[in-house]
Amino acid sequence: MMDELLKLSNNVICQMMMGFSYSATSSEAVEAKHVAREVTKIFGEFNVSDFVWFLKRLDLQGFEKRYKDIHRRYDALLENVISEREENRRKGQGNDGKGNDFLDLLLDVMEDEKAEIKITRNHIKALILVTIIKEAFRLHPPIPMIIRKSNESVTVKGYDIPVGSMLFVNVWSIGRNPKYWESPLDFNPNRFLEGGTLKGSLDVKGQNFKLLPFGTGRRSCPGIGMVMRQLPVVVASLIQCFDWNVNDKEALNVDEGAGLTVPRATNLVFRPLVRKNAPFIV
Ligand code: HEM
């Protein structure tokens, strides 16, 4: 995923991470780094209330207070990004107020009273965090095949599948199939906003069979909730704290080699340099 982001090569976190440009101040960079660290920390901590049933309603370790605090601080960072763009749109700076990038597109929909589906600021905050991630999962699902065994004989589209057959569902190929995706090889997070609205917006929870990075059904990935919360934070931190220099342009080739976990065809070797306005290492 990093290599897709690097293709868009820009030093500004939001341009790469979220598909729009925004220059974080150094205090925002520090705050983003602290929030990211707190999220990764809290995920790994043992919560006694998860294991002792009669303690379930008691928050003995103060997790709830911390979750709320992280949420508030995260929200404040995103709020800055959105309100600065709204201010620029009002002043007519940078663009003509019509969707130039992903954030403009979302604001256009939010401001459009006639839009078929209403979106709020909270929708925008959620969307700017997950939509790039979804597109990377479509093109490069970390687990390219899901496997099932038929428990009865069935016929699917004229193919007889006897009971007990091993079935391999090629998630990687579905994500690149032009029958389901327009220009499937283009990296384009906007595709998750069909026609500039949220209509038909896909999630990755296994209900939309053309996008199955976490599988589907009873055996789908139980880690999905954790991944979809942590991944944006981890990727954002890596991008925000470092400039990623690459000497060999060939290393940016995103082709994949053979293997169960879709390894890269060419090794990706970076030289990370700490960014001046984000002087902390995650
Ligand atoms: C980018 C991160 C991840 C991806 C793309 C991913 C994807 C998948 C996929 C495709 C499956 C098979 C689903 C199916 O057969 O329908 C799976 C299963 C599973 N995943 Fe993940 N996973 C990720 C992270 C995690 C994490 C963080 C955890 C644990 C905290 C986890 C735990 C599991 C387990 C236990 C299964 C087996 C479920 C079962 O067989 O019932 N995964 N994952």
Q: Atom of ligand 1 at shortest distance to CA of 230?
A: 27
| Domain enclosing residue 104, as ranges | 2-142+171-243
Asked, for residue 50, whether it belongs to a domain, the answer is yes
Q: Note whether residue 106 is domain-resident.
A: yes
Residue 122 lies in a domain: yes
* Token digits of residue 211: 């996008």
ipTM above 0.95, yes or no: yes
pLDDT in tens, the chain (282 residues): 333 332 322 223 343 344 455 556 667 777 777 777 777 677 667 788 877 888 878 888 888 888 888 888 888 888 888 898 888 888 876 555 455 677 887 888 888 888 777 788 888 877 766 767 888 888 888 888 898 999 999 999 999 999 999 998 999 999 999 999 999 998 887 787 654 444 456 788 898 999 999 999 999 999 998 888 788 777 777 777 777 887 777 777 778 776 667 777 887 788 888 776 654 433
Ligand 1: lining residues by beta carbon, under 6 Å: 142-143, 146, 213-216, 219-223, 226-227
pLDDT at 46: 79
- As for how many domains the chain has, the answer is 1
Is 181 within a domain?
yes
Q: Point out the ligand 1 atom lying closest to the alpha carbon of residue 219.
A: 41
Give the pLDDT of residue 155. Answer: 95
pTM: 0.64
Q: Tell me, what amino acid is at 97?
A: G
